[in-house]
Chain A
Amino acid sequence: MKIIRIFFQWLVFILFLSLSFYTFPKIIVDLILGTQIFPSFFRLILHGFSAISIILIFNIIFALFLGRFYCSFLCPLGILQDSIFSIYSFFKKNVKKFRDKNYYRKTLLISGGLFFIFLIASIFNLKVIISIMEPYSLFTKFVYIFDNILTDNIKDTFFYFIIILFILFVLKLFFEERFFCKYICPTGFLLRSISNFSLLNLHIDDNKCIKCKKCENVCKTSCITISKKENRINNSLCVRCFNCYSECPVNAISFSVKNGMNIQNLNRRKSLKVLGFSFILIFFSSLIKKANFIKNAGKNFKKNQTVPVGSNTLENYINRCINCNLCVNVCPTNVLQPNIQAPRLNYNIAFCDYFCNECSKVCPVNAIKYIPIQDKKKIAMGKSNLDKNLCVVYSKNQSCGACAEICPTGAVHLVNYKNNLMAPELDNKICVGCGSCEYACPTRPIRAIKVEPYNKHRKLKIEEQKTEKEVKTEEFPF
């Protein structure tokens, strides 16, 4: 069982890693990301029922049958924690287990409280809290950090904030295995309340047990207690890693349907209370989120920021985005930069590639809706404004034309200005607001040509360009 888990974990881990570095078809990306509970849940309430929601339902059914199966098999952050810890324990044997008298109660209360905070944050669009607590978003942020360290990409201030978080996280990992899953993870809490009622559970056969306490040592979440009086497994905390199952020398541990004595710690009534509590909370918070109770969501987001094609409006984008930064990871030009509210397009660093729709392929919550490349070419995020007092050509009478050179649609084009000098001219009917002109403009510190975002993206009538072709055989003119 353990070997199957480890094999599966590597598979899932590689899949999630490769999402950030390779381009997949939209369906496969959806299939991979659909396994994540909260992103697909947000997608369900804000976007209605779709194929991804079926995976979510399957996830819940799995939880009812197998318990916290998700934590060990599908959660990329859990797998990351496991792999870091296995490296750590390779160098240091006998890692201490942190557990005191009120261990179960403590984990339940802390994670429950944080779950409550998480829901409030998701209602009020507090992206910092959401993106730190949601395991999948946290994982993509770590990928972002590694990507930045390895490839030396362009960094924003938000980067340093995440790196501090990362250090804290790793340090805590070294002290305690699966710390995040036990105390912080909102998905963990949700699954925990469900898995109290799971059909299949781990059991210790008291007759066979020789009290060697090996299972207690290998347990990831310290949910096994072996004492002289009784053996207990807290199945709500158990992440189904099957370490104990393969470690037991006498095969006393079984994974089966049995309502024996050793399902303990929370009696039925208490666990029903927890389940009901969390479901009522989720129900109401999703209702509030769906009704879009908090209207001015983009208040903290600068109004002069352009939002990527596919998000349609700023409000839509801010409301739906969970700030997981996967779009930042896949952006080939690095124009999408991480920000506290949601990734933003930074035209000082780069420009949005007219021939690319990578970010719209990967969004797990449909904040950036998928748009085929031929449709993307016709949607305007904004329009450009030219300040002739700053422009090199108009103010200095020098030839430049950097903006017209790079413009993909011909919205900025060169016209004859003064004795053989070519000057840029704007045609905002075909400007898509990709920011390439702003990026290329050489004037500093303020750029002469700037993109002004639209509140709502517009559809333009841009004709498909065709190159005229002619074959000519001629002599050399020299």
Chain B
Amino acid sequence: MDRREFIKKAVTLAGVSSIGFALKGTPFIFGNNKKSVDMVAVRGGEPDTMFKKGIPYLGGIKNFVKKNDEVAIKVNASWNSKPSDGGNTNPKLVRAVAQACIDAGAKNVYVFDHTIYNPDTTYRESGIKFELSGMKAKIAPANNNRYFEKVKIPNAKILKTAEVHELILSADTLINIPVLKTHGSTRMTSAMKNFMGIVWDRAFYHRNGLHRCIAEIFNFRKPDLNIVDAYNVMVRGGPSGYYNSKIVVKKMQLLSTDLLAIDMAASKILGFKPSTINYLNIANELNLGKKIESINIKKIAI
């Protein structure tokens, strides 16, 4: 960068930030002189608008996605259920996040999940395939062992090695978009439980201690951004919602970089005490994040 270019860029930067400063009510894009926000909780809007309202408080998507980055978005698309049934991540939210990443200059955007049911039908039923059609974002396959690579997990007691999806290794930015549901055996599935879908051998988790394995995978890599979709919340009959299920339309969304705090907040939305969910206690032991009491939450109602 020569001197002239530097001056040009400095002037434009100053100009843009002063515009941001001048307009009242809009969050600051450059430099936040207030106390930094750890978690944003939005409620009352559609999933995509809630995301657009909420993300600037975390510094905008540009804080996470740099130009020419490869972005991997881990969604929940495991079940043959429609968007209104709350079994899968809301497709509008997936679209909004993927579009934001593309607009921020991402080179490749991949959406992936090691689905439980057949991926062809689940992506179609969940509406994610339809929403992503015609976009630069692609659905990365994860239904075969060859897309997974064996890695060593540091500081692990049980899950010492795991076969994780190749995107976990190659992606520059990892975004986690779970949907909030109850779960038969672990009580709640949210940001942490969603990362069970990045490994090939899920049976290993079940066989050797489910709660500890759920927490220990994050010693390998944490997601850079978590967005919990709590628009249609399944409060009974999860995770599949195939029988005896109940949906409460809460129209909420949580955004955070902190894994533990967002799951603790999510458990409160479902009406659980965080301490009753075992993997959250283990995550606290492993220092995966801050507790909800000690973070700064920005609440927005639309």
Show the binding face of A for B, using Cβ within 8 Å: 151-153, 332-333, 353-356, 392, 398-402, 404-410, 413-414, 420, 422, 440-444, 465, 467-474, 476-478
Which of B52-60, B116-124, B126-134, B148-156 lies at the interface with chain A?
A: B116-124
Across the interface, B203 reaches (CB within 8 A) one of A153, A402, A404, A474, namely A402
Shortest C-beta distance, A156 to chain B (Å), equals 16
B159 at interface by CB-CB < 8 Å: no
Cα distance, A332 to B185, chains bound together (Å): 28
- In the complex, the answer to whether A408 meets B207 with C-beta atoms within 8 Å is no
Q: Is the CB of B242 within 8 A of A398?
A: no
Indicate whether B240 reaches chain A with its CB closer than 8 angstroms.
yes
Q: Are B249 and A353 in contact (CB under 8 A)?
A: no
Cβ distance A300 to chain B, nearest Cβ, rounded Å: 30
Cβ–Cβ < 8 Å partners of A408 in chain B: 240, 242-243
Task: Choose among B185, B210, B245, B249 the residue that contacts A472 (Cβ–Cβ < 8 A).
Answer: B249
Q: What mask results when residues 197 to 215 of chain B are scored 1 for a CB within 8 Å of chain A, else 0?
A: 0000011111101110000
Top 5 closest pairs, chain A to chain B, by CB = A401-B185, A410-B243, A442-B203, A442-B206, A442-B207
**Contact residues in A for B225 (Cβ distance below 8 Å):** none
Residue numbers in A under 8 Å from B236 (CB-CB): 468
Cβ A422 vs Cβ B184 within 8 A: yes
A-B contact pairs, 8 of them (CB 8 A): A151-B144, A399-B185, A401-B206, A406-B116, A410-B242, A469-B249, A472-B248, A472-B250
Q: How far is the CA of A441 from the CA of B265 in the complex (A)?
A: 31
Determine which of A355, A409, A441, A444 lies in contact with B243 in the assembled complex, contact meaning CB atoms within 8 Å: A409
Using A398-B209, A467-B241, A470-B246 as known contacts, say yes or no to A405 and B183 having CB atoms under 8 A apart.
Answer: yes
**Residue contact A477 to B269, C-beta cutoff 8 Å:** yes
Task: Give chain B interface residues in 265-289, CB to chain A under 8 Å.
Answer: 265, 268-269, 271, 276, 278
Contact A473 B251 (CB under 8 A): yes
Query: Is B249 touching A471 in the complex (CB atoms < 8 A)?
Result: yes
Quick check: A473 and B44 within 8 Å, CB to CB? yes
Residue of B nearest to A23 (CB): B120
Closest to A353 in B: B118
CB-based contact A332/B245 at 8 Å:
no
* A355-B121, A440-B202, A473-B43 known, 19 other contacts, Cβ within 8 Å: A153-B144, A353-B118, A355-B117, A405-B185, A410-B242, A440-B203, A441-B203, A442-B202, A442-B207, A465-B244, A467-B241, A467-B245, A471-B249, A472-B249, A473-B250, A476-B43, A476-B252, A476-B268, A477-B271
Interface of B is mostly: mixed
Q: Is the beta-carbon distance between A478 and B207 smaller than 8 angstroms?
A: no
Looking at A153, A355, A440, which has the most chain B CB atoms within 10 Å of its CB? A355
Task: Tell whether, in the assembled complex, residue B144 and residue A468 are in contact, meaning their CB atoms are under 8 Å apart.
Answer: no
Answer whether residue B247 sits at the interface, using C-beta atoms and an 8 A cutoff: yes
Q: Which residues from B are CB-within-8-Å of A153?
A: 144
Tell me the bound Cα distance from A151 to B186 in angstroms.
35
Residues of A near B204 (CB, < 8 A) are 442
| Residues of chain B contacted by A405 (CB below 8 angstroms) | 116, 183-185, 239-240
Q: Which residues of A contact B244 (CB under 8 A)?
A: 410, 465
Q: Is residue B37 contacting chain A, with contact meaning CB distance below 8 A?
A: no
Chain B residues contacting A402 (CB-CB under 8 Å) are: 202-203, 206
Interface string of B169-199 (1 = CB under 8 A from A): 0000000000000011110000000000000
Most A CB contacts (10 A, CB to CB) among B146, B184, B242 go to B184
Determine the distance from Cα of A384 to Cα of B188 in the docked complex, in whole angstroms: 27
Return chain A residues, CB-CB under 8 Å to B241. Answer: 467
Do A398 and B243 have beta carbons less than 8 Å apart?
no
B43 lies within 8 A of A406 (CB)? no
User: In whole Å, how far is A299's beta carbon from the nearest beta carbon of chain B?
Assistant: 33
Give the number of residues in B that approach A within 8 Å (Cβ atoms): 51
**Do residues A400 and B247 form an inter-chain contact, with CB atoms below 8 A?**
no
Residues on the A chain within 8 Å of B242, using CB:
407-410, 465
A355 and B248 CA atoms in complex are apart in Å by 25
> B76 interface residue, CB < 8 Å from A?
no
Decide if B245 touches A470 in the complex (CB within 8 Å). no
Contact check: which of B206, B245, B292 meets A468 at CB < 8 Å?
B245
> Using Cβ atoms and an 8 Å threshold, which residues of chain A touch B299?
476
Residues on B with beta carbons closer than 8 Å to the beta carbon of A471: 248-249
Give the residues in chain B near A478, CB-CB below 8 Å.
41, 264-265, 268, 292, 297
B256 contacts the other chain (Cβ, under 8 Å)?
no
A-side contacts of B252, CB under 8 Å:
476
Among A151, A401, A469, contact of B184 (Cβ-Cβ < 8 Å):
A401
Selected from A392, A401, A470, the residue in CB contact (under 8 A) with B247 is A470
**What is the minimal beta-carbon distance from A159 to any residue of chain B, in angstroms?**
16
Closest to B241 in A: A467
Residues on B with C-beta less than 8 A from A399 are: 185-186, 210-211, 278
Which B-chain residue is minimally distant from A409 (CB atoms)? B243
Closest to B237 in A: A467
- Nearest CB of B to A424, in Å: 9
Which residues on A sit within 8 Å (CB–CB) of B246? 467-470
B26 CB, min distance to chain A CBs, angstroms = 23
Complex Cα spacing A151 to B299, Å: 48
In the complex, what residues of A have CB within 8 A of residue B43's CB?
473, 476
The reply to whether A356 and B118 form a contact with Cβ atoms under 8 Å apart is yes
Q: How far is the CA of A465 from the CA of B204 in the complex (A)?
A: 31
B80 within 8 A of A: yes
Selected from A152, A356, A440, the residue in CB contact (under 8 A) with B144 is A152
CA distance A408 to B87 in the complex (A): 13
What residues of chain B lie closer than 8 Å to A472, measured between beta carbons?
248-250
Docked complex Cα distance between A144 and B14 (Å)? 63
A477 proximity list for chain B (CB < 8 A): 268-269, 271
Across the interface, which residues of B come within 8 angstroms of A465, CB to CB? 242-245
Closest A-chain residue to B254, C-beta based?
A476
* Chain B residues, CB < 8 A from A442: 202-207
Select from chain B the residue with minimum beta-carbon distance to A476.
B41
* Chain B positions within 8 Å of A353 at CB level: 80, 117-118, 121
Is B113 part of the binding interface, using a Cβ–Cβ cutoff of 8 Å? no
Residue of B nearest to A414 (CB): B184
